[in-house]
Each structure stands twice: as C-alpha cells, then as structure tokens.
Amino acid sequence: MNYSDSSKILDAIKKANSILVNCHRSPDADSAGSALALFLVFEKMGKKAKVICPDSLPPDLEFLPHSDKVEKINFEKFDFDPYDLFIILDSASKGMVTGKGESKFPDVPVIAIDHHTTNEGFGKINLVDENVSSTSEILFLIFEDWGVGIEKEIAQNLLAGIIADSGIFAYPNVTSRTLDIARKLMEEGGDRAEIITNIFRNFEFTKVKFWGLILEKMEKDSAGFVWSAVSNEEYKKFGGPKSGKETAASMFAPVVKDTAFGMIMVEEEKGVLSISLRSRGEFNVATIAEKLGGGGHRSAAGVKVHLPYESAVLKVLEVARKVVNEKEN
C-alpha cells in the first residue's frame, strides 16, 4: 500500500452518487492531466462525475485525452446541490480552486489530493505528499493501491502531468520512482514525444515575441535573483497570451548563473499582478509566494497580488529580498 488514505478515499467514492473534480485556476498539465485521469477512472467505475475549472484550458493542453470534459464555471453561480463529493486536486488553497480568494466555497464534502508544501488541509481527507514530482504521480500510486488498470488515455494524462510538473524530469523532487512510473505509463501508451511537443515546443509566435519583452525587461537583483515585470498595457499589446508568464518563468527564471531563483510578474488584469517563481535548486520559492498569500512547492510557486502595478511590483521585490536576507542570516 502506497498511501494509508487510499482505502478511505475509495470508500468515500463508492458511497458517492455524483462527484466533482477540479482543475485549478490557470490550469497546467498536472492539474488538467490528473483531473482527466481521475474522471476516466470514475467512468470505469460507473460513477457520475464532472470536471470543473474557473478558467478555460489553454490551447496547448487541448491534446490531452477528453480535454473537452473540462467545464469552465463561475463558482458563485454553479449549482453544487446535485453533488455529494468534491475531489480537489493539485490545489494548495481554496482560492486556487475557485479562482478568487473571496468566493464562497461550496458546501460539499471535500477530499484534497496534492503535492504542494503550502497546502492548507481544507479537506475532510487530505492526502498531501510533498516528496513527489506532481499530483499525477500521487494519483498513479493511488490507482495502484486501488488495483485500477492504467489504460492508454489515463496513461497519457498522467504522463503529461508528470513530465510538465517535473520540468521534463529536471526538478529536485524527481526520484527513481518517478522515472519508473513514467516508464510504466509509456508502456501503457503514454506518448512522451506528443506531450513534450505540445507543452514545450508548440508556442504561438506572439507568445514568443512576448517572451522577448520579458527578457528585455529582466533585471538581476543584488539579492541574488532575476526578475521581470510587465504591465497590463504591455501584456495586451501582445494579445494577452495565455500561460505566457508561466512558460517564460520555467524557461528563463531558473537558468541565470549566480542566482538562486527567478520571478516573472505580469499584470494580466488591471490591478492584479500575477507572479510565477522558479528555483534554480535548493532555494524554496514557495516561502516567498506564501508570504504574499500564494503557494506552491520548492521548485515552482505562484501568487496574485491585488494592488496597482507599480506598488505590487515593489511589494513583491521587498518580500523576496526580505526572505533572501532571512535565509542568509
């Protein structure tokens, strides 16, 4: 048995009639892949289930099997009454689930399955494993505990989550078990090449040009990190590319010599600065995100700061420098 809570979660699923599964705001491959894999397992079980998300899936994730099952909803207007179980994946906070921290949370029993160190533990059952690459890796181990067969479409969704959230197996939380799981998923039909092509080598030209602006504005801070900030006006000039910030953070924030981490800040909405942080190694960027009201894990984290653009940028830099100073002392 990989997890002692696996049987408790299965018992709750067996008792439920209608189940909700979430994708978090600004969904990535781990969020969508794990949700769709679980949805497909529920189909095998004969369970009625729905996958919901506060945002639409970005185009680069539409290749995932059954991606059309992800339904964008408004959490304040959605009717939760028909559902008696809500399984929340890859989401450290309620704000990640609803898309807005102040939104009313549904009165439905919650099971939380996650790998983020900052998880708030808001579920009736909380299976949080901080030592794995991704929520998709956790689900593989849970499915193993349940004795669920991994078919091709499930394998593709789980493998996509693992590859994306591990940075193509580059992050520190990748273990020999992670690689073994990836091998098993490939043997069951998971297509590594298709996943890497769609997630890492399939960008709109305007998004690539947007990265040019991010690089042009990038600065190296004396505290030992790089950062770049883009205003809403600048962001809209490039058509507001979805996931442009996150992909830029993964590609450019953790690669500069003699730095510990990097931050990409984009004012995607007027008065709302969205920040993606990436570590180069041992530095835990989640500590910065957490102090700003966000979360994540050691290698990658994120947060939204609701302030005017210049004030928000100054606040983020102040907090980052303070965290670095505290770690050095």
DSSP codes, 14-64: HH-SEEEEE--SS--HHHHHHHHHHHHHHHHHT-EEEEEESSPPPGGGTTS
Q: What is the DSSP string of 238-271?
A: TT--TTHHHHHHHHHTT--TT-SEEEEEEEEETT
- Residue indicated by tokens 């493998």: 159
pLDDT, residue 102, reads 61
- For the beta sheet containing 295-296, the strands, ordered from the edge strand earlier in sequence to the opposite edge, are 219-221, 225-230, 261-269, 272-279, 300-305, 295-296
Residue 285's H or E segment, with its range, is: none
Rounded Cα gap, residues 175 and 180, in angstroms:
9
Q: What stretch(es) of the chain map to CATH 3.10.310.30?
A: 205-328
CA-based R_g, the chain, Å:
19
Decide if 210 contacts 244 (C-beta within 8 A). Answer: yes
Class of domain 6-200: alpha beta
Tokens describing residue 9? 């979660």
Global pTM reads: 0.92
In which residue ranges of the chain is pLDDT below 70?
A: 101-103
What CATH number is given for 205-328 in this structure?
3.10.310.30
pLDDT, residue 103, reads 66
pLDDT, residue 327, reads 87
pLDDT, residue 297, reads 86
Strands (E), the chain: 18-22, 48-53, 70-72, 85-89, 110-114, 125-128, 219-221, 225-230, 261-269, 272-279, 295-296, 300-305
Q: What stretch(es) of the chain map to CATH 3.90.1640.10?
A: 6-200
Q: Among residues 207, 205, 184, 185, which one has the least CA distance to residue 195?
A: 185
